[in-house]
């Protein structure tokens, strides 16, 4: 069952894994060495990221390599941008309304 991207990035360890893999490919063991949790726990995080398309896995010989796939992150950014514009517009309108109610400085 594919994982939800938003659920996947809600975990701070998984966000750190994505940051670590941004722009480079690393063996899973090297990724695990960057964290103070067990290798099986990191493998589980990477599996979740892989299932939702945020990390791509490749096996070469006995090693498994992973890299971040930023295309899926772009979908998240585009979704968030819509709400950013919405809230910026609302806050700008609130600021303007509050400014109208402020008495002039004497």
* Chain segment 48-58, per-residue pLDDT in tens: 999 999 999 99
Structure tokens at 22: 């941004």
Residue 31 in contact with residue 21, Cβ under 8 Å? yes
Give the start-end residues of each E strand in the chain: 25-27, 55-60, 63-68
> What would the pLDDT profile of 2-59 be if each residue is shown by its tens digit?
578 888 999 999 999 999 998 899 999 999 999 999 999 999 999 999 999 999 999 9
Structural domains of the chain ordered from first start: 5-101 (1.10.10.10)
C-alpha dist (Å) from residue 87 to 50, 91, 92: 32, 6, 8
């Amino acid at each position: 069952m594919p994982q939800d991207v938003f659920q996947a990035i809600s975990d701070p360890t998984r966000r750190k894994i994505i940051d670590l893999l941004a722009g480079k490919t690393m063996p899973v063991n090297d990724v695990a060495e960057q964290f103070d949790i067990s290798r099986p726990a990191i493998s589980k995080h990477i599996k979740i990221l892989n299932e939702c398309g945020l990390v791509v896995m490749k096996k070469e010989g006995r090693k498994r390599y992973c890299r971040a796939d930023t295309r899926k992150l772009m979908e998240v950014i585009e979704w968030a941008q819509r709400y950013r514009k919405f809230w910026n517009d609302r806050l700008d309108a609130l600021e303007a309304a509050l400014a109208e109610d402020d008495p002039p400085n004497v």
